[in-house]
Amino acid sequence: MKKLYISLIFLFLYAPIFTLIVLSFNASKTRAKWGGFTLKWYFSLFENEAILQALWNTLLLAALSALIATVIGLVACIAMQSMKKKTRALILGIANIPMLNAEIVTGISFMLLFISLGVTFGFGTILLAHITFNIPYVILSIQPRMKQLNTSTYEAALDLGANSLQAFFRIVFPDILPGILSGFLMAFTMSLDDFIITHFTKGPGVDTLSTKIYTEVRKGIKPEMYSLSTLIFAAVFILMLLVNHTPRKKEKS
Amino acid sequence: MRDSRKLLSAPFLFWAALFIIIPLCMVFYYGLTDKTGAFTLDNVLAIASPEHRKAFWEAIKLSVVSTVICLLLAYPLAMILAGMKGNHDSFIILIFILPMWMNFLLRTLAWQTLLEKTGVINSILAVLHLPALKIINTPAAIVLGMVYNFLPFMVLPIYNVLVKIDSNLISAAKDLGANGAQTFLRVTLPLSTAGVISGITMVFVPALTTFVISQLLGGSKILLIGNIIEQEFTQTNNWHLGSGLSIVLMLFIILNMVLSVVTDKDGEVNAL
């Protein structure tokens, strides 16, 4: 019974994924017909410069925005440690706004800001927006680990002559590293999958995979898009399996 | 020492002021002024015009239905997952995060292929001599798209609270003579309220405000309030009207935020 239920939900969540994978091997150019098995879209993908450029933009945006958001979020979490409960709650509240707010509202609010500041819309505006909506995911991953920290080891390090920077990197950092990594990964994923906020903050000529797909919806999606997504999905899937199967020490809860 | 550490919050506070607070103020400024910059409530009250009211009502209807379906699907799932032996946290999160690596638009478009008149599901139904499913380009397809995209946001917060419930409480309830239903209603459910409310807000807001899912699965015949706002910004270029309508949406969102902050005081439910 339980297994059947989980399988059905699993089928529901992954049916579209399987569909896309099957479409990437479809010789027919339209998604409505099956035209036989082919690998040609996997080859033509690497000759399609527009798609490769969009892929590069997407990955660069995800990496930069996740990295900068992780630094800002981590520093904010350290600062919050020494704050009173109320100030901390206020900061967490503000940080959560982009996560709880509707993406369309966040998107148009950025659009209005950039218009008023007279900034040219392009890669930079998308990056600023992505960093902002990534910060809450980073804080949510790091903050709980910070709370569990045992401050006496940090103080002991200080007593033994370490300066605060040494004490932080030798004592605190290893403890919160899993939180930092999962925050970075969440932020990377969120940036990679975003369409709505990018839609409102992008300029002409700059495309991510999402915005490129959106403009292709009416004309028909290029089959190379399916092969590219299949490759990305397969790569991540294998990576995740490897990470999950690497033996590691049991975490203390 | 403590004071110097507090200074570390400066970069974040500067960032938040410039990119969170000021942009939201801009929405309110545009929404409450006309093209000459004079104060007006017209843009907000425009929600009452027949066209906008219809789109708003449609969005509320579909998002409420989707949220209820998500809750009904997610709660049993979260219970099963939480009841599994051993620590499966990372595996469970992985299962729900993994689909996000296939683009959101492509995933939603794939449902077109699955649901079409001659699509995958109908081909299977035809083989089984079952009647065809005619839901593509209807509100039902939009609800399906919403449930599909937002279900993980309901499962994860409920799972997070359920795994933290002390199993001794459940055993105690049973020892004291409660049957399964009583234990669930009196112990498990009340202890998981924070997760349920967080899940509801995480699903309701994006469902209420989406314009992509309705565009891709509704066949551009069904306009939701999100579609209207998107058009005001990217096609009609009437930012004042678009902002005014967004203010109405934000009232719902703020209500939602207050609800989730009140019930999730420690900010632990959403923690991943």
Q: Per residue in A51-65, pLDDT tens?
A: 999 999 999 999 999
CA torsion angle for A105, A110, A115, A120 (degrees, to 10)?
Answer: -140
The CATH number of the domain covering residues in B50-263: 1.10.3720.10
User: In order of start, what are the domains of chain A with their CATH numbers?
Assistant: 55-207 (1.10.3720.10)
Give yes or no for a contact between A30 and A220, defined as CB atoms under 8 angstroms apart: yes
What whole-number distance in Å separates Cα of residue A7 and Cα of residue B83?
Answer: 16
Q: Which of A16, A112, A132 sits opposite B239 (nearest CB)?
A: A112
Contacts of B236 (CB under 8 A, 6+ apart): none
Residue A129 with chain B: CB contacts under 8 Å: 19
What does the angle CA A108 – CA A111 – CA A113 come to, to the nearest 5 degrees?
A: 110
Angle, helices B193-209/B50-83, rounded to nearest 10 degrees: 140
pLDDT tens across the length of chain B (272 residues): 456 777 888 899 999 999 999 999 999 999 999 989 899 999 999 999 999 999 999 999 999 999 999 999 999 999 998 888 766 777 777 788 788 888 889 999 999 889 988 888 888 898 888 888 888 889 999 999 999 999 999 998 999 899 888 888 888 888 888 888 888 888 888 889 889 998 998 899 999 999 999 999 998 788 999 999 999 999 999 999 999 999 999 988 888 778 777 776 555 555 44
Asked if the Cβ–Cβ distance from A244 to B91 is below 8 Å, we say yes
Q: Are A217 and B216 a contacting pair at CB < 8 A? A: yes
Contact check, Cβ <8 Å, B101/A232: yes
**What CA–CA distance (Å, rounded) separates A163 from A185?**
30
Question: Residue A37: helix, strand or coil by DSSP?
Answer: strand
User: Chain A residue closest to B30 (CA)?
Assistant: A112
Domains of chain B, by residue range, sit at 50-263
> Which residues of chain A lie closer than 8 angstroms to B71, CB-CB?
none
Give the residue on B whose Cα is nearest the Cα of A226. Answer: B106
Cβ B53 vs Cβ B223: under 8 Å: no
Query: Which residue's entry shows tokens 């035209």?
Result: A35
- Cβ count within 10 A of residue B181: 8
Residue range B64-112, pLDDT digits in tens: 999 999 999 999 999 998 888 766 777 777 788 788 888 889 999 999 8
